[in-house]
Amino acid sequence: AQTVTQSQPEMSVQEAETVTLSCTYDTSESDYYLFWYKQPPSRQMILVIRQEAYKQQNATENRFSVNFQKAAKSFSLKISDSQLGDAAMYFCARRGGATNKLIFGTGTLLAVQP
Amino acid sequence: DTAVSQTPKYLVTQMGNDKSIKCEQNLGHDTMYWYKQDSKKFLKIMFSYNNKELIINETVPNRFSPKSPDKAHLNLHINSLELGDSAVYFCASSQASGRIYEQYFGPGTRLTVT
């Protein structure tokens, strides 16, 4: 099955600290795309970061970075200097083949403690 | 400038009714999607259209009928609404070519069937 697994239903981090959210996936493709989306209480889905599987370099976007381990099919998200506004549900997703659909994980609810 | 918009944002209706949700994108994308987010926050693809042509239909009951009058619009019509249809429905769009596959989401429509 082509699945995406997020094993941490909930995480908590202190403001200004660093937190890592885990994601593993299953695919038989060699070229694919991975994404992290953030869903705050407003329910808007916001793209945080993307990784192209053919690129060995880990993607970074300001305080957000990924640890992409292609052989292990692992794609974790690191949030540095956590801010109160980072509190949200985070979804890992994989682009599903030629149809371009997104296959989502079950999400990790991140709380940021002041 | 709203990139992907949906109307209405909230919809409360009774079982058995027929309702529609509209989606418009002004990003110039050629592919649009409908996702359903259930009460446990799980997101799943329902439909996708590329240049007005249906390319994904993920075993959704035929009470759900998407319609794409042009590349910028994708509407979702639901007949004979059931309690289990209560969910948040997200519209999204992307460009299917050029190796830029991230999807941009609308604000979601919370459908409540009573």
R_g (Cα) of chain B, nearest Å:
13
b vs e for B87-108, b when ≥16 Cβ sit within 10 Å of the residue's Cβ?
bbbbbbbbbbeeeebbbbbbbb
A31 φ, ψ (degrees, to nearest 5): -120, 115
Query: What was the pLDDT predicted at B96?
Result: 74
- List pLDDT tens digits, range A79-107: 999 999 999 999 999 987 777 889 999 99
In this predicted structure, the answer to whether residue A1 has a pLDDT above a threshold of 60 is: no
Residues of A (83-102) whose Cβ lies below 8 Å from B: 89, 91, 95-96, 99-102
- List pLDDT tens digits, range A4-43: 999 999 999 999 999 999 999 998 887 889 999 999 999 9
A26 φ, ψ (degrees, to nearest 5): -125, 135
Residues of B in contact with A99 (CB under 8 A): 48, 55-56
Residue % of chain A over a pLDDT of 70 = 98
Question: Any CB–CB contact under 8 A between B92 and chain A?
Answer: yes
Put simply, the answer to whether A95 touches B44 (Cβ < 8 Å) is no
> Residue A50 forms beta bridges with which residues?
A35
Q: Are A89 and A108 in contact (CB under 8 A)?
A: yes
The token duo for B63 is 């009470």
Q: What's chain B's average pLDDT?
A: 92
- List pLDDT tens digits, range A40-59: 999 999 999 999 988 889 99
